[in-house]
Amino acid sequence: MERYRKQRDADTRRGDPVKAVGFTGRRVTLSPVRSFGLRATPKQSGFTLIELVMTITIMTILTLGVMPLVKVSVKRQREQQLRDALRQMRIAVDEFHRDTVGMVCTGGVAPPLQGQAQPIPIDPRSKVAISDCTIFGVDNPDRYPPDLDTLVSGVNVTPRGGAGTGGQGLQSTGTRTGDSSSVLGSQLSTKKKVYLRAIPVDPMTGKAEWDLRSCYDASDAGSWGGENVFDIRSKSKETALNGEKYSDW
């Protein structure tokens, strides 16, 4: 028995599992980890194949459900950008036209508006009057801007001498309409006014190109007459979220 005990102790010190026969004759297995009092390494946990498949399936369903909402949100944002661009250009056109009322051309008096029977009241929002008549052709008696580039490059203007009516032009303090001193004072105070910083880019087409309408074109005209710029529309033929065509905005 002493021989078996010594052999068991020697095998245990080497760290090898030992199969020994005890006094009772039972076979036992001695673990080297337990013999030295060390803890066994815990089994590492992970995802099974079924768990991975279920996770990927759920993520795919969520992605397919969110994508349409993202597309609608992006389209709505582009539509708002289109509305802002159209509003900006139309405001510039209206402001330009207001500044033509009661205008006095550099070096002389501009001819009255066609069909003007009596002076037209000047809009109080207009603080200057356009003084360059060369930008208006004979086919543009209503004096809307000839093109969008004119709004960006600017035109010569002179400050108004005060509230009044159309046809009075620009007056210097203490002078009468038509006096040479009034015309000279207007020429000396001539400045250039820009109505539009830059031609906006159409968010629907990605280009700074627009469909133009003159005040003589029909609302459903397929092309621009070229006399002036009365309205601006998008060239996109796509349909908006509200069912309208962008070209009809």
Number of separate domains in the chain? 2
Quick one: average pLDDT of 93-104? 90
As a whole number of angstroms, the distance between CA 185 and CA 233 comes to 40
Is the pLDDT at 235 greater than 50? The verdict is yes
Instruction: Determine the average pLDDT of the residues in 34-44.
Output: 53
What percentage of the chain reaches a pLDDT higher than 70? 65
Residue 227 lies in a domain: yes
CA-to-CA distance for 157 and 72, rounded, in angstroms?
45
Residues 26 and 83 in one domain: no
> Does a structural domain hold residue 214?
yes
Indicate if the pLDDT at residue 4 is higher than 80: no
**pLDDT value at position 39?**
55
* 221 shares a domain with 147: yes
Instruction: Write out the residue range of the structural domain in which residue 18 sits.
Output: 2-35
Closest CA to 168 of 227, 121, 238: 121
Q: Does some domain include residue 52?
A: no
Give the tens place of pLDDT for each residue, 48-73: 888 888 888 888 888 887 788 888 88
Q: What pLDDT is attached to residue 1?
A: 60
Q: Rounded to whole angstroms, how far apart are CA atoms 160 and 129?
A: 6
Confirm whether pTM is higher than 0.75: no
Query: Residue 211 domain-assigned?
Result: yes
- Whole-number Å distance between alpha carbons of 100 and 128: 9
Number of residues written out for the chain: 249
Q: Which of 99-113, 187-201, 212-226 has the lowest mean pLDDT?
A: 99-113
How does 186-215 read in b/e, with b if 16+ C-beta sit within 10 Å?
Answer: beeeeeebebbeebbebbbbeeeebbbbbe
Q: Are residues 85 and 162 in the same domain?
A: yes
pLDDT tens sequence across 101-129: 887 775 444 444 555 555 678 888 899 99
Residue 207, phi then psi, degrees to nearest 5: -130, 155
Asked if pLDDT for residue 197 goes beyond 60, the answer is yes
Residue range 124-179, pLDDT digits in tens: 889 999 988 888 888 888 899 999 999 999 999 998 875 444 433 343 333 344 44
Decide if 67 is inside a domain. no
**Domain for residue 55, yes or no?**
no
